[in-house]
Every structure is written in structure tokens, then in C-alpha cells.
Structure 1
Amino acid sequence: MNHLARHRPIIFVWENFGPLHVDRCEALARDVPEIPVIGLEILSRSSDYDWISESSNSFKKITLSSPEERDPWSPWKIISAIASNRPQAVFFCHYQRPEILLAAFMVRALGIKTFTMNDSKFDDYRRDLWREAVKTFFLLPYQGALAASQRSADYLRFLGIQRHHIALGYDAVSVSRIRHLANSAPAPGGEDFANRHFTIVARLIPKKNIALALRALAILARANKPRRLVICGSGPLESELKALSQDLGLSNLVEFKGFVQTEEVCRTLATSLALILPSTEEQFGQVIPEALSMGVPVLVSDNCGARDHLVKTGINGFVFEPSNAEGLAFFMRLLSSSESTWTEMAKAAADSASLGDVGDFVNGVRQLLGAVSTQAKSRPRSPRL
């Protein structure tokens, strides 16, 4: 790590710190102990998730505001907190926010290495040319980017970030933490095949496309191949999905658990036959590497960014179109009916868990800092904003 300044911290900026953010900061603090790691949390509570904001003894966490404050995203608070800690590098999330844009420009002007973290893909939804042009301006202050998937990296290149200044590993998880919280051996160990259920971990919102999974389960039930489905998540579609489940005759097969914290998610995965993620829009699909950590095969739509490098069809899971209930039902029936097929895929899932581990996040940070340091040595002049 000779391209890093010893004892000058690296700061990571997120809206709120859930368990996955802690995973990443802990991994860097553990693997590079001579560099202090600081987590800068804008809000004390997430605007999207009901998780409990987490801390760690491995790194310093700073919380700037509560959501109830008049200006919780104050760029001046963000800039002040960063400048007072004199970091060598700052990694920002939420590049699309004007407050983060201003903070990133100021940080770059102070001579601090400035990066963005992103998991968006070009194919998330229909793109507008002028909106994409504006995004290129919002990315101007950044010297590089930490991307979640290959499609995410391709999108960042489209928006103007150089190929050799993009690294993968953003949405990595701690495999060891997930297995510890699950308190069970990864599949095919643990729960017996016959007692396992399908699992969905997602917010109950339209883009998660959970109705498709219910329809696929109904196809299995009509073919006398019933399996339980456990749904972890809350959201505005809860009543509608419960009504659909009842209309499809699935009331005795579907359990809506509501939002659960990460420990309960891990324990639910430990008893799962397969994870289902049928999203019509999914930047990455964070639960996919979590499921693989527990040896759980994954059934995911081709919109999920994580399938780029984590899912191998016929090996550790299957990829399907998000409009294809019959195709999803076919894969569900295959895993549900053949214990030998499921066992082989569960072994492959557990073996592939390392592909999504937090070590990739650390490697991505190293790669970006090294690339920027090398460029600075070859072109020793002040950055042009």
C-alpha cells in the first residue's frame, strides 16, 4: 500500500449505515490497519430501510443529522466534517444529489482524492439523453468510481469515467458475518431438504415484481409440487400482495414476515431452498451474495446487476425474464423436486460465495487509490475541475 499516506484516514460517505456498510468499512480497517477508516453517516435513520443504524469498534463513525432537522443534507456540514479529519481520500455515494456534488467539488479542490460509489446500470429503465448529459456534469469532480457490477462499470464509462479508474467490488458483503448470524452450516448442510422453503427478501414495491413469484408458486401448487414461500419485507403493496396470495389459493403456503433485521434474514436464508428475486428493475440485488453465503441457490431476473459475476445458470442458480412466470415455475419445480440437483447447486452456491465477499471491496479501494496515485506521478499538475 505504498500509494497510501500512512495515518491519514479514508472517509466513506453514505446516507445511513446499515450492516452492509459496516461490513465494508470493517474489512478495510482490518486489512489495512495502518490507515484509519471513517464512516460519515448523513442521517441517523435511513429514508428507505428500517434497519438499525450500526457502528463498530474497527472504525470511527460520524453522524451528521437526524431526518427531522431542517436541512439534514447540509453540504456545509458534510464539507466541514471531511475537512476537519484531513483525509487522503473520500468515497461518496449519492452522486446525483446537489449537496454531494458541491461537497465533492470542494473536497477535490482541497487536493483530496475523490471517488464515487455506484451500482446503477444503463438498463435499469428507459434513459433520457438530456438527463444523462446532466449526469456527466454531476460526475465531474470524481477521479474514479467503485462499481457494483460489470454493467454498472459500463454505465460509468458511458458517463465519462475512464475505464482504468473504475474498480468492482462496491456491493460486497461479509460472508463470515452472514454465516455467524445464521448460526447454521451453509447448505446443503443445516436444514433438511424436505423442510426448506423458497425465500424473497425485498421491499414490497412494484419494481420488485413479487406478484410474479406468487403466480409461479401457484403453478407449482396446481402441479401438486407445493413448497412454502417466506417473504421478508414491508412496503405499500403488502395488502395487495396478501390479497393476490389469497386469490391464488396460496394462503397456507405464503408467509409475510414483514421487515426483519439482518440477523433474522440470515436465519431465514439458512432454512431456504432457493432465493427468488424477480425484479423488473434491480441495480444489484444485495441479497444475492447473502444467499450464496449460506449455500442457497438463487433464482433471479436478468435485470439484477449481481448476476453479471455471481450467478452461473445451471451451476449456482438460474436467470429468467421478469415477465416469465412459467419459466420461474420451471426452475422452482426443478429445485423443489430433485434433491440431488439442489444439493449440487447448493454446494456450488457456497463455493461461489467468495466472489461477493468484502475482500473485493478492499481490493477495489486499493486499485482506485493506486490508479490515481500513478496518474498523479505521471502528470504532476493540479486537477482541472
Structure 2
Amino acid sequence: MKNGSIAILFDRLGPYHWARLQAAARFFRVVAVETCAITREYQWERVDEAPAFEKVTLFADGSDSCKFKRALLRKKMVNALGEVDPAVAMIPGWATPASLVALEWCLRNQRPAVVMSESNAFDVKRYALAELIKRIVVSLFSAGLAGGDLQKEYLVSLGLPRHRVFTGYDVVDNEYFATNAVHVRENQTAFRKELKLPEKYFLASARFVPKKNLRRLMEGYALYRSLVGPNHWKLVLLGDGPLRPELVTLRHKLELTSDILLPGFIQYRQLPAYYALAAAFVHASSTEQWGLVVNEAMAAGLPVIVSNRCGCVPDLVAEGKNGFTFDPASVKGLGKLMADMSRLSERRLEEMREESRHIVAGFTPAHFAKAAQRAIEVAKAAPICRATLFSSLLLKALIHR
């Protein structure tokens, strides 16, 4: 396929990736390379929309072959990229064997690689040796596409030249959420009845894993409940995961079984209704590279309360204008903000909704596509990256670790 195609790699193509790829395909020829068609981590349904891009899938499911059989992964990735023969490869990060194998292929075939990253300087504890290794790996990329300002600064700190790093990676299909939210609100009585949703509620959406900080979210909600009394909003918490039994037990212990609703994992086609009928959105993660659910909530027109450890905060949350931020370790701080939000007048809430829509309008699939195009052009113009013997051996070691 040589012909100037651009390979864009993802672990699994979900709705977020699909929207970005569709937008990118309007600007250049896209071949999506998907490592696994199905994974245990994300339970998304297959996207039915006809793709405007070509797609190659290495593994049909998320079996052990995806995670542990490096030789098979290498063979499939090398064969796929050899067949596609891209002019440039856009690679998601540097943490997975699939990404590193793709980078290795680019170096061997003298093709520029663009790193797509949502990492920031504080999303995990940093160690000097690990950062040194990372700098060596990042130096093998020709350009970068980052989520936002924090993510861009982190790539620059790892050695990528500032003029070769662009923002716009972390976007969702704003139009999908906005349009469907309008439809749901126009028919809200029927949707509330069908989905069994209360009149007023905070919405949260997350995998039930430790970093999502859902225990403190529930405890913060319990404090909020005690602060506002009988006119409280309920809490609807979407998602599933290994912590579900623990959270169900905590809900019972807090005597909030009727106030905290757990509908489970909600598919993409149903999500706009939950956003549309909510009064505000809360994201409590103790650490988060970005937080795409915040994009979704804002596209649907919600005011937000977001942990200050989320990488999206500098770009998406204007303090006091479309929402508030808080220390995710502070149950008291979260509970108080929820109380403050619920006491705002309808006029003030509407102003915050409008501000959310305005801010997130700068983070669309079209922005991703244009930023990707700029990164590709810069990567093509940059000197070809060449691996030293040491960096080649380092890549091999990281792939097989």
C-alpha cells in the first residue's frame, strides 16, 4: 500500500478512536492497525458505522497471545506494517510491547514515527532511571501529538523539540453527545422512566478500579447528603470492574442504597441519555492521564466537578465558570463542592453548561485530524531517526520485559 498512507495504531478501536480516525480520513489516507478486536478491560460493542479508513486487526480477541507471546506479536505487527508500508506511523505511547514493536519497525525501515501521548508529569510517581530510559525511547520519535498543555510539556521535558509537538489527541465526538442530549431532553419524561433515573442527580462514569477513587466519591457524596438534607440530588455511578462488590458493600454501610444508583457498564449508544438527564458530572480519580468522560459530559452540556489530578483540568475546567476542581484525597472538599453545586440557581447552572459547551468545542475529532496532519508533516521534514546499538538493545529488552 505504500502510496503515502498513514498507519494509526491503537490497542483496540473503541468509539473514541473511531471518531478520530473518521475525521483524519478526510485529510489523508488512514490505515488503522488494531492490536486486539476484543479486550477484557473495555466492553465496548463493535462500531457499526462504515469506516472511511482501512483497518488491520492483529488478534481477534484479548487472549494471552496479545499480552505474553511477544514473538507472535512481533511477527503479526511486522507483517501488518510491511503490508501497509506507511509513510508515517502514529503510535500510542511507549508503554506497550505493540507500540515498541511498531517503533522498532519504523526505525528499521526509516519511516518517521509520531508518538500519541496523554501522559503528564504527575500521573504516576516518577523515578530518575525510568525517566532516563523514557527519554531514550522518546528520542526515537520524530514528532508528538499530545492530549493538551500538560501532556505537551511532558513530551518536551522528555526531549522532543517543542515545535514538533502538537495538541489535540484527547477528543471525543462532541456532535454525537450534543445532538443526542438535545433529543433526550426534548423527551426526558419518557427517557427517565425507561432508564429509571431520578429527577436530579450527579453523574459519574468510570471503571471500578482503585485509581478512579470511587470509595472517596461515595464518602464525599455521603457528606454532601448530610449537608443539604432532604433536597439532595442522587448519585448515578456508571461502570463496572473488580471493585464492584466492595462498592456495593460500602453503599450499604453508608445507608445510601436508594441514593447511589449503580446501573453497570453502559454502552456508547446509551451514554448520551445518562449525560443529558444529569444535573452535573463528577470525576474523582486520584490520578488520570486525561479523563475523556469529562469531554463527554461537557459536550452534553454539563457543569463539572473534577479532581485536580486529572490531566484534562488545565484545558477543560475553568474554575468557577464551567465547574470546580478538588483534591481527590479530600472527602470533605468534594462533599462541600457537591453541596455548592446543587445550591446554585438554575440560571447559574445554565451559564456553566454553556461554558462547558464553549470550552470543549476546541476539542473535536476535526482538531485531532488537523493536529495529526501537522505532526505528520513535521515528522516527514525532520531528520530520519536512527537507533544506536544501545537504543536497539534497549527496545528489545523493553519489548520482552
Normalising by structure 2, what TM-score?
0.86
Indicate yes or no: 2:17 matched with 1:11.
no
Q: Is the 8 A contact 1:204 1:234 kept in 2?
A: yes
CA distance in 2, matches of 1:290, 1:190: 20
SS of corresponding position for 1:39: strand
The alpha carbon displacement at 1:131 in A equals 1.4
Q: State the match for 1:332 in structure 2.
A: 338
1:384 partner amino acid: R
- Measure, in 2, the Cα distance between the counterparts of 1:93 and 1:67: 18
Question: What is the aligned counterpart of 2:63 among 55, 65, 68?
Answer: 68
3-state SS of paired residue (2:312): helix
- 1:93 aligns to 2:92 (yes or no): yes
Equivalent residue, structure 1, for 2:357:
350
Where do residues 96-135 of structure 1 align in structure 2 (5 Å cutoff)?
96-135=95-134
Distance 1:301 1:37 in 2: 35
Shift of 1:295: 0.5
Alpha-carbon shift at residue 102 of structure 1 (Å): 3.3
Residues 180-229 of structure 1 deviation map (CA, whole Å, 9 limit, x = unaligned): 4446368xx8759x923111100111111112221222122223142111
Conserved? CA contact 1:16–1:53, under 8 Å? no
Letter in 2 for 1:124: D
- Identity, in percent, stands at 26
Q: Pick closer, same or farther for the CA change 1:346–1:153 going to 2, 3 Å.
A: same
- C-alpha deviation, 1:136, in angstroms: 2.0
Within 2, Cα distance between the matches of 1:69 and 1:222? 47
1:35-50 mapped onto 2 (5 Å cutoff): 35-50=28-43
3-state secondary structure, aligned to 1:40? strand
Which residue is 1:384 aligned to? 386
Q: 1:248 aligns with which of 237, 254, 260?
A: 254
Q: Which residue of 1 aligns with 2:393?
A: none
Residues 71-112 of structure 1, C-alpha deviation per residue, up to 9 Å, x if partnerless?
376122112211212222110114223443233122233232
1:345/1:368 CA distance change after superposition, 3 Å: same
Size of the aligned set, in residue pairs, is: 371
Residue 144 of structure 1: aligned partner? 143
What SS is found at the alignment partner of 2:279? strand
| Long gaps (5+) in structure 2 | 190-197, 388-401
Query: Is 1:218 equivalent to 2:213 in the alignment?
Result: no
Give the Å deviation of 1:369. Answer: 1.9
What pairs with 1:236-275 in structure 2 (closer than 5 Å)? 236-275=242-281
Q: How far apart are residue 353 of structure 1 and its match?
A: 2.4
Say if 1:301 and 1:190 are closer, same or farther in 2 by CA, change over 3 A.
farther
Rounded to whole Å, the distance in 1 between the matches of 2:381 and 2:56 is: 31
Q: Is the 8 A contact 2:19 2:173 kept in 1?
A: yes
User: Do the aligned partners of residues 107 and 82 (structure 1) sit closer, same or farther apart at CA in structure 2, a change above 3 Å counting?
Assistant: same
Matched residue SS, 1:74? helix
Structure 1 unmatched runs, 5+: 1-5, 377-381
* Cα offset, 1:327, TM superposition: 2.1
**Distance in structure 1 (CA, Å) of the matches to 2:41 and 2:352:** 33
Residue among 195, 202, 208 paired with 1:198: 202
Give the match for residue 371 of structure 2.
364
